[in-house]
Structure formats: structure tokens, C-alpha cells
Amino acid sequence: MKMSSLFLILGAMFTTLLAGCHTEDEMTEVRLAEVTRSIFYAPQYVALSEGFFEEEGLDIELTTTWGGDTTMTTLLSDGADIALVGAETSIYVYAQEANDPAINFAQLTKTDGTFLVSRNPIDNFQWEDLKGKTFLGQRKGGMPQMVGEYVLKENGIDPHHDVEMVQNIDFGNIPSAFASGTGDFVQLFEPQATLFEQEGIGHIVDSFGTQSGDVPYTVYMAKQSYLDDHQHVIESFTRALYRAQQWVKQTDPATIAESIDPYFDDTPLEVIEQVIERYQDQGSYATSPVLEEEGWYHLQAMMAEAGELPEEITYNTLVNRDIAEQIMKE
């Protein structure tokens, strides 16, 4: 090979390498508010830890805003560019005649992420075992509570007559309340459910995720104005997310756990792995960012059943699936 040809090849390789890199000056800052910190959101942390967002030229500033109301307030007041929160919050905002509604553009989880934990071990658990018992529920109007009530009703349990429903405990204090002796059953997210089982405090007897079916449980949304003015950012964000979703789909729980471990300092690595395996097995992680129409209306049916649906909102009003579909075709 002639030396000139070698230089041409090396030059082309170097140019290609540079094209795939972003300098610090080229990075676009994106303020992302997540409703809570959870292994349930594993693909998001994979996109961060594996550098998928960075490779798209995005500098993600992640903030945990602890609660749906707080998260939406942060988004609507321009304290965040993108929010990761339950899709029901966009419906609540729209029903209040918001001038700049929150639009759902990518889905992260497609089932409920909570588990039914019993204080005592139960062989051959049946949902009727809850009758006459005290049940620690979740915040009224939130997705966990609405899914919880839906599942109870689907299994022949009236949540307001057949059980003593406790809902006056703050979300963050529910695990400690159960650990201190309140309630016979509790609805818990991971890793708390697994940790309680390991410590002998409770026993996982069923999954609300497998019982309720597919629903846009946790989604990414942005104000309509941000989508209009920063479509390239939304496209890059969705592209990184889709890469992470596929990575999680194709990767074993142990490897995923090692990837996201830095985001869960207080949780043992083996517990992270166990939780990821549980969520993978029940299909909780969405494998594409597209929020499907069937799930949108299933969500509203649950809200209506719980008496929390202010009005039915058509799919195209608050869901933008074009960006996600475009990314998946690339």
C-alpha cells in the first residue's frame, strides 16, 4: 500500500471518530427531574452510566423530585426540561386547562412496579386472604394506589369495604410504618419489598404489575413549547433511551446491576440484581419508547374506576409517538 493511500485511510478514520464525539462546548444541558430514585427505572441509569446520553451530545442534570405533584410543578415552572413521572399527571394538568400542556413522548416502564407484601407467610395465597385485614395503600390519585384498587377489584375485593385501607401515611414513611407493626398487608416498591423479605419483616405474595396488565406507568414528558423549540434534543434523548432499553433487554441482570450500582449506594449489589431479574421476568421495562394507544386508554379506565379521571383525553392530545417511531426506524 502506498504511503499516501495509508494517510487517506487514517485521515478518514480520524474524521469518522471525531464525528461521533462531542466536545464539552458542543454538549447540550438537559435538566431531567425523576419522580423518585428506583431500580424500576434501570434503563435510564444504564443510559447515563453507559454513556448513551453523552454520545448523543446531551449533558443530563438529573434531579430526584420525590413525588408526582412536585415533579410536575418543577416541570411546569421551568425547573426541568424533561420529567420522568406517571402519565396520569399529564392528564391532571391538561384538565386544569394548562396553556402549555405536558406531552408524553417516551415510555420507560409498562407495568406497575409494586408488590403485595404480607406480614406473615401465606401458603397458596389467594386475594380473598385480604378480606377483613388492614392494608397500607398509597397516595390517593397516584398510579400505585389506582392500580392497587384496580387489582383488588379485579380479584373480587372492594378496597373500601372488604379491607381497612390506610392512606394517611406519607409515601416515604409507608415502609417504616409497616416495619413498626402497622398493617397486615402493604403495597411496596422494590428494593424495599425484597429487603423486607430478606429481613423477615414481610413476605412477597403477589405482583401488582403482573395483575394489572400493560399501562404507561412511568413516562418521559416535556411541555409542548419545549418539544416545539428543542425537537433535536428530544430526538437525541429518545435515541439514547432506546439504546438503553435494548441493552437492558439483551443483558443479564448481574451486568445491568453493576452498570447502575453507582446510583444505589445504600442497596447491596445482589439485591439490585435480584430486583432487576424480577422486573425483567414480569416485563416491566419497556423495550421501546413508544407509548401505545391501548395502554393510554387502559390507564384512563383505571383512573375512572378509582374516581380520579377528570375527563377522558384522546390519545393524540397528550401523546407524541412520532419521535419514538422515527428513532426506532433509524
CA distance 27 to 4: 35
| Residue pLDDT, tens place only, 61-115 | 999 999 899 999 999 999 999 999 999 999 999 999 989 999 999 999 999 999 9
**Identical fold at 25-110+215-329 and 114-212?**
yes
| Band (131; pLDDT cuts 50, 70, 90) | very high
What does the pLDDT read at residue 16? 44
What does the pLDDT read at residue 110? 96
| Band (170; pLDDT cuts 50, 70, 90) | confident
| Sign of the alpha-carbon torsion through 85, 86, 87, 88 | negative
Kindly list the distances between the CA atom of residue 214 and the CA atoms of 175, 220, 248, in Å, as whole numbers in the listed order: 26, 17, 18
Look at 20 and 239; give whichever has higher pLDDT: 239
What does the pLDDT read at residue 142? 86
What does the pLDDT read at residue 296? 98
Task: Examine the pLDDT at 1 and tell me if it is beyond 70.
Answer: no
What does the pLDDT read at residue 311? 96
E strands of 22-109, at which residues?
Answer: 28-34, 58-64, 82-85, 102-109
| Residue pLDDT, tens place only, 256-299 | 999 999 999 999 999 999 999 999 999 999 999 999 999 999 99
Instruction: Pick one of 3.30.365.10, 3.10.450.50, 3.40.190.10, 3.40.50.980 as the CATH number of 114-212.
Output: 3.40.190.10
Closest CA to 298 of 200, 215, 205: 215
Burial label, 4 (beta-carbon count in 10 A; 0-12, 13-18, 19+)? exposed
Segment 122-136 shows an average pLDDT of: 97
| Band (9; pLDDT cuts 50, 70, 90) | very low
Mean pLDDT for all residues in the chain: 93
Domain 25-110+215-329 sits in which CATH superfamily?
Answer: Periplasmic binding protein-like II (3.40.190.10)
- Crossing angle for the helix pair 231-250 and 322-329, nearest 10 degrees? 60
**Is residue 32 a contact partner of residue 84, using CB atoms and an 8 Å limit?**
yes
Per mean pLDDT, which range of 20-34, 97-111, 183-197 is the poorest?
A: 20-34
Task: Examine the pLDDT at 143 and tell me if it is beyond 60.
Answer: yes
Q: Name the amino acid, one letter, at 17.
A: L
What does the pLDDT read at residue 24? 62
| Band (310; pLDDT cuts 50, 70, 90) | very high
Q: What are the residue boundaries of the structural domains of the chain, listed by start?
A: 25-110+215-329, 114-212
What does the pLDDT read at residue 141? 86
| Residue pLDDT, tens place only, 228-254 | 999 999 999 999 999 999 999 999 999
What does the pLDDT read at residue 33? 98
Q: Name the amino acid, one letter, at 260.
A: I
Closest CA to 316 of 143, 103, 110: 103
